[in-house]
Amino acid sequence: MTRFVFVTGGVVSSLGKGIASAALAALLQARGHKVRMRKLDPYLNVDPGTMSPYQHGEVFITDDGAETDLDLGHYERFTGVHARRSDNATTGRIYSDVIARERRGDYLGATVQVIPHITDAIKEAVVSGTDGYDFVIVEIGGTVGDIESLPFLEAIRQLRNDLGYDQTMCVHLTLLPYIPSAGELKTKPTQHSVKELQNVGLQPQILLCRSDRPIPQNERQKIANFCNVRPESVIAALDVDTIYACPIAYHQQGMDREVLRYFGLPHEESPDLSRWERIVRGIREPKGEVRIAIVGKYTALLDSYKSLAEALLHGGIAQNVRVRMDWVDSEELDKPEHVEALLQGADAVLVPGGFGARGSEGKINAVRHARENGIPFLGICFGMQMAVIECARSLAGLSKASSTEFGPTSEPLVGLMTEWAQGTELLRRREGGDLGGTMRLGAYTAKLAEGSRVAQIYGRTEVRERHRHRWEVNLHYRDVLEKASLHFSGMSPDGVLPEVVEYADHPWFIGVQYHPELLSKPFDPHPLFVSFVEAAKQNRLKRQTAQGQSS
């Protein structure tokens, strides 16, 4: 029997529902249960693919090509279970599906309404494809009381009646603020949040109370009395120094035991958390440090690069070093004279994905700085394209090399893709078409050249990585670029789309068209990031040795 755990939030947003949900999933996995995770998002966008990173943070890509909420990245990093398109449903997608059914006549002339048609579609999105799992953890975005989340909460209320209370439970995350002038934690926001949830027919069985200090027993009892839960089900969600300590912290507070107790499952024995203890120890007790400059255009909101930051952290754990990330606004590097000052002291340089002309010259200048000074460099997606343009301009004599993404150009080193193969299907796109869901999305195979650095890093010559891009390096320039020493070391299986470029005569310089950060996990770090951090580590040692000799 599949059991469903619904996770809601109240009082304020950004309390960490995604991390809490992922930590619970990790705890249930550690006890031998098979777990799947899902996210319901109340916004009207069909998916976050066309949303600004400043609005919503990064877009996480699944193997099957879905553009999803960044919380699905947390789910994968904590559980190792690959997310699917069906694991993220938005109001926009639900309404689009219902309207499409109405247009086809599927409802046989019925008046289409929120109840039952929208709520039925939500329930279908929750339960479909969950056979064979012991637990499905469903996070509902936003906060209780938001008008846009009401259909989702109503659907959950109905599901609890449909499936039975022995198969479903609600976990509610709230804030317990500490008021310094009063010298105490205040429980009233939690009480009001639970009351709001009860008003729509949902009674939480567990309360996760986000706090910066332990909850005194009298406050815990007070919350239990007013919110109609057991005192043992009032779980302190205390601040931690790393998100990967959350499974350990929640277990210490008894969260997994309370979930299993509610469902009548064995809960006396402790789970094996040695994996998470090793990860936390690696973060807290590094043997060294490296500084990596990340040159991007969305650095004002670091959630725009959430998976990237986590992948670098994972590489640091594997190399037993702390990775210090220097976030550099690429527009500040548009003037070449600023590059040296802003990248000074960096042990490695990384240029991540992005879109548009803004800040592109700064990224090209960062690539040039890394190439000319022998600094380890990793270019991802847009970053790889900027590396190709930099090579064309600086080494191949093509001073007008550019991308058609930036406007008309006589030397289109990077151009808009119009068709590509996906398995046995040929996908076509046209300029001026819809933006949403029209990129080359999802997992595709790349063939790596024998003896190349990238093949040595992976330990094989065929990899499958996740993509999200609309523009592609123009293969017509391959010969002139390789004569300039930039080697095309990875290609699509049909030999049409460049996937990896590298300089053989550079200490460590690789550009990839895909997004390796999306597959990295703390217990299984991506090999590219492990090698990249190792290169940064070696470069730091080399510079320290040179400084010691000069002094």
Positions annotated as catalytic residues are 381, 515, 517
Taking each helix axis as running N to C, give the angle between helix 382-394 and helix 360-372, from 0 to 180 degrees, rounded to the nearest 10.
70
Residue 293, C-beta contacts closer than 8 angstroms, at least 6 positions apart: 326, 328, 342, 343, 346, 348, 349, 350, 366
Give the Cα separation of 110 and 198 in Å (integer): 31
Strands 135-140 and 35-41: parallel
Give the Cα separation of 328 and 370 in Å (integer): 14
* Residue showing tokens 């380890």: 376
From residue 15, alpha-carbon distances to 53, 175, 265, 423 in Å are: 19, 7, 29, 41
Q: Is 100 left (phi over 0), alpha (psi -120 to 50) or beta?
A: alpha
Partnered with residue 462 across adjacent β-strands are 447
Which of 93, 96, 98 is CA-nearest to residue 111? 98
Q: Is 325 left (phi over 0), alpha (psi -120 to 50) or beta?
A: beta
Dihedral (C-alpha) 454, 459, 464, 467: value to the nearest 10 degrees? Answer: -30
Which of 47, 78, 176, 67 is CA-nearest to residue 439? 67
Per-position DSSP letters for 140-196, written without gaps between them: E-S-TT-GGGHHHHHHHHHHHHHH-TTTEEEEEEEE--EETTTTEE--HHHHHHHHH
Tokens of 509: 């310089």
Q: Compute the C-alpha angle 36/40/44, nearest 5°.
A: 150
Give the Cα separation of 360 and 59 in Å (integer): 20
Give the Cα separation of 462 and 499 in Å (integer): 11
Dihedral (C-alpha) 10, 11, 13, 17: value to the nearest 10 degrees? Answer: -40
Tokens of 168: 């479903």
191 within 8 A of 227, measured Cβ to Cβ: yes
**Cis (ω within 30 of 0) for the bond into 116?**
yes
- Computed over its alpha carbons, how large is the radius of gyration of the chain? 25
H or E element that contains 29: helix 17-30
